[in-house]
Every structure is written in structure tokens, then in C-alpha cells.
Structure 1
Amino acid sequence: MGPLPRTLELFYDVLSPYSWLCFEVLCRYQKIWNIKLQLQPTLIAGIMKDSGNKPPGLLPRKGQYLKSELSLLKQHFQVPLKFPKDFFSVIIEKGSVSAMRFLTAVKMENPEMLEKVSRELWMRVWSRDQDISEPQSILAAAEKAGLSAEQAQGLMEMISTAEVKKKLKEVTEVACKYGVGKEHVERNSEPLCYRSREGALHHGTSFQTFVWPLDCLSPWPMWMAKLTCYLALTEWSCWHTCWERSGWALCLRP
């Protein structure tokens, strides 16, 4: 019998294309890498506020690089990603509060559908250039993902409840605590700077909790994007290639 799978938490928002790429890679290879993936819907607006970061639409050079980088990454990971025509309106003005509250409700009531509904919302905003802010848009995504109209409507009614709002806020605060959007990793609560973004963690290093938060809005050379982030844990007999650049936090627990 092999080692038991480790639990890996992915904090994500469907407004982030890098989160989508990370999501697909982890879903694709979780059995091969022997991990138990836990999806954590998170609000990117809260991450931005906590980290002091700015969306690429407000920083022209980052926005320009974002387009060229994503065009290469979508080919590398075979994800049908397409840049929205009106980036500012979709990402900055409309945001994702309703969509992420809906995913929070899905996780609470129908967790087995979270992966499919999350993927469909990403497909709408980052592949088909469709809305994800209006109730009818979110319901369409939910039904396309496999939820019944009755189930989807019931979940939609939950997004205005205090319980769902509180849960999304709590998860976002946890992500902020891990340092999402800030340049450091944690090793047993000790912050480590990762200026090179090369995942240069020494072979054999033991981690009880490993967090790898990356700034999804900070452009860096494409060849670096193809370097891998390794998850090295005490009970693992070898390195496990996990992800190249997520923009969010990957938290692996013992």
C-alpha cells in the first residue's frame, strides 16, 4: 500500500486566468501526484485589498504582458483560454462577488459539483467572453455544469444570506493569512522570500505545512513560467511536480 494522499487546498477566483490554469492542472494530475484536492472559492477583490496589489488593467505594461503570456500558457496547458474583449468592464467593473458567493453555496450544499460549476464559470468569462455577474448568467453556467434548474435556483437564493457571505469572507481571510499576493512562502510559520520564482527549495527540506502564494499580476519571463514549483514533504520519497504559476495559494497539510 502506497502513502496516503496529502490534502492540497487551492484558493481561487474565476476572474483569475492563472487560477484556471492551476485548477485544470491540479484536477488533471491529482491522482498521479497522490493529492486530495480541496477547492476553496475565494474573493480576488479581498486579496487585492489585503495585499495592496492592483489589477493589470490599471497597470498598462502588466496588462500588455498578460496577453502575450496567456497566449503561450494556454497552449502549454491545453486550456481554451481567450482574453475578454472588454477586459476592464469584465474584470474591474463587474467583478466576481456573485459568482464566488454562488460557488461558496455550491461547496456548502453540493460539493461534488464544485469542480464542474467552477470550470463552467471560467469557460464563460475566459473562453466564451460571456457574463458571470448577472443571476441568469450564473444560473446558465450551473445548469450547463449539470445542476438542475431547481438546484441552481436554490443556490442562487443562498448568495444573499449572511451564512454564505460570512463563509466567503472567512476563506478569503485565510488565503490572506497564508500570504496570497505577497512575495513569500511559509515554512513552519517562518516566511521565506522567493525573489527568483524558480521554486528553488532545497532537496530534502521537510515541510509540515507548505504554502506557495504567487502574485498573479506580476509579469516575469516566459521561460521562468515553465519552471516548476515543487512540493517537498517529509513523508514523500521524491519530488512531485505540482504547478508552474498559480497566482493563488497552494496549501499542503500533513
Structure 2
Amino acid sequence: MHRIVFHFDVLSPFAWLAFQRLPQVLEGLSHEVEYRPLLLAGLLQHFGQKGPAEVEPKRAWTFRHVHWMAAQQGVPLVTPAQHPFNPLALQRLALACGPNRRVVEALFRHVWAEGGDANDPARLAALTEALAPARDPNSAEVKAELRTNTEAAAAAGIFGVPTFEHEGRLFWGLDALPMLRDALAGGAWFEGPAWQAEGAPRPGVRRA
């Protein structure tokens, strides 16, 4: 059985589209998926990056692109009232519930299928009531777990979401799903030296 870890932050529309496409990618394969929440902002800070929505031309392109892909994929996508927003409450709620596919889908739909303010107190309260978390999302335990997830992901080389982890390999982004499928199916490329060779550091110009 293949074990895949889906590292996600509900802030990302690409993670929502990847979540929706994943069952199709895994069809016919024996597998289990662990859904692991983290904070994209923590990864960006660790690697000194800006998020796509923090660069205005990139933000405009990102939303045009994801809406086109959602239409192609037949997935509902409504831009939330505020983006970027702080996803901390939602990521903690995911952990507090025990993030299975049902829980994670409810969280993504809250952000990307309803079009409201993801952090509206009334909406958050209704979502929390519907999901009935086993733990207090605001407990020290849950807060520490989310921080640990984020720090461990950064240490492992995860720099963005969605990232899929399988047998020590990391596959980043919606467009990496065909590559993940090939790896799971025993694709010949993964039997050769290219994975290690092409991931090795190389000399190159560095910006000051």
C-alpha cells in the first residue's frame, strides 16, 4: 500500500484543486492519504519568499489561472472576500478534528466554494459546530502541533503547498500530480539516477 502525505494550507487555491483531483490520480492504486496541515506563511518566512498574492501582477495571474483550471476541472471555485487572509484558525481546526478527507474538504469548501470572509466569526463558529472537533482548536497542544508540522516541513525541504510526500520524495504543486502518479506506478524514470542527480546542488549566479 502506498502512503502519501498531503501537506496543505487552505489558503492555497491550488491545494483545493489538487485535493479534488487526487482521487482520480490515485485510482486503481492501493493507498492511504494523511492530510497534514501547516502554515504556508511559515514556509515562506523560512525560505525568504513572498506568496503569489503578495506580488500584484502574480496575484492577478494566479486567480485568472486557477479559475480557468477550476472551470476545466469542473470544480467550484469562488474567490474569498479577502485574500490573502490568516488561515491560522482553520488550520488549527483541521488538527483539532483529526484531518481526514471529510474534514479537509469542509475546510476547503468554506474558503473556496462559498465566497465569504474565511475568518468571519459567525461562519467560523458554524463550521466548528458542524465539524465538532475532538480537541479544542485553541489549546496549547493544537497550537504546538501546527507549529511543529510547519517547522518539520521546512526542515524536510517543503517550500510550498500543496506538497505530496511519498517514500521520502516530495512532489510540489497541482501540476506535479501526473509525476506523483508515475512514481506510484513504478515509472522507469524513478528507477534511474535522474531524481538524485537533478536535485543535487550546482554552482550558479546568486543575487545579492
The total of aligned residue pairs comes to 184
Matched, 1:118 2:104: yes
Alignment of 1:226-237 (within 5 A): 228-231=178-181, 233=183, 236-237=185-186
Structure number with greater CO (CA < 8 Å, separation at least 6) is 2
Shift of 1:167: 0.8
Letter in 2 for 1:79: V
Letter in 1 for 2:159: G
For structure 1, which segment, 114-123 or 10-19, has the greater mean C-alpha deviation from structure 2 after superposition? 114-123
Taking a change above 3 Å as real, the CA distance of residues 208 and 117 of structure 1, as seen in their structure-2 partners, is: closer
Letter in 1 for 2:145: K
Letter in 1 for 2:90: A
Alignment of 1:70-89 (within 5 A): 70-87=66-83
1: CA distance, partners of 2:118 / 2:56: 24
Do the aligned partners of 2:93 and 2:128 also contact (CA within 8 Å) in 1?
no
Residue equivalent to 2:11 = 15
Q: Secondary structure at the match of 2:32?
A: strand
Higher percent of residues as helix? 2
Letter in 2 for 1:96: P
Which of 172, 184, 187 is matched with 1:213 structurally? 172
2: CA distance, partners of 1:126 / 1:237: 34
Spell out, residue by residue over 1:169-222, the C-alpha distance to the aligned partner (whole angstroms, 9 max, x if none).
11111221232227xx9xxxxxxxxxxxxxxxxxxxxx95211234x8xxxxxx
Which of 36, 45, 48 is matched with 2:44 structurally? 48
Shift of 1:98: 1.0
Matched, 1:162 2:143: no
Matched, 1:140 2:126: yes
1: CA distance, partners of 2:90 / 2:21: 22
2: CA distance, partners of 1:230 / 1:103: 24
Identity %: 23
* CA RMSD of superposed structures (Å): 2.9
Shift of 1:118: 1.9
Matched, 1:176 2:126: no
For structure 1, which segment, 131-140 or 15-24, has the greater mean C-alpha deviation from structure 2 after superposition? 131-140
Taking a change above 3 Å as real, the CA distance of residues 232 and 226 of structure 1, as seen in their structure-2 partners, is: closer
Q: Secondary structure at the match of 1:229?
A: helix
Which of 58, 61, 69 is matched with 2:54 structurally? 58
2: CA distance, partners of 1:142 / 1:28: 29
Q: Secondary structure at the match of 1:7?
A: strand
Q: Which runs of 5+ in 1 are unaligned?
A: 186-206, 217-224, 240-254
Shift of 1:160: 2.1
Q: Which runs of 5+ in 2 are unaligned?
A: 189-208
Q: Secondary structure at the match of 2:4?
A: strand
2: CA distance, partners of 1:159 / 1:232: 37
Spell out, residue by residue over 1:94-150, the C-alpha distance to the aligned partner (whole angstroms, 9 max, x if none).
x1111111111111xxx5xx3222212221221211233245423322445xx4xxx
Residue equivalent to 1:99 = 90
Do the aligned partners of 1:103 and 1:117 also contact (CA within 8 Å) in 2?
yes
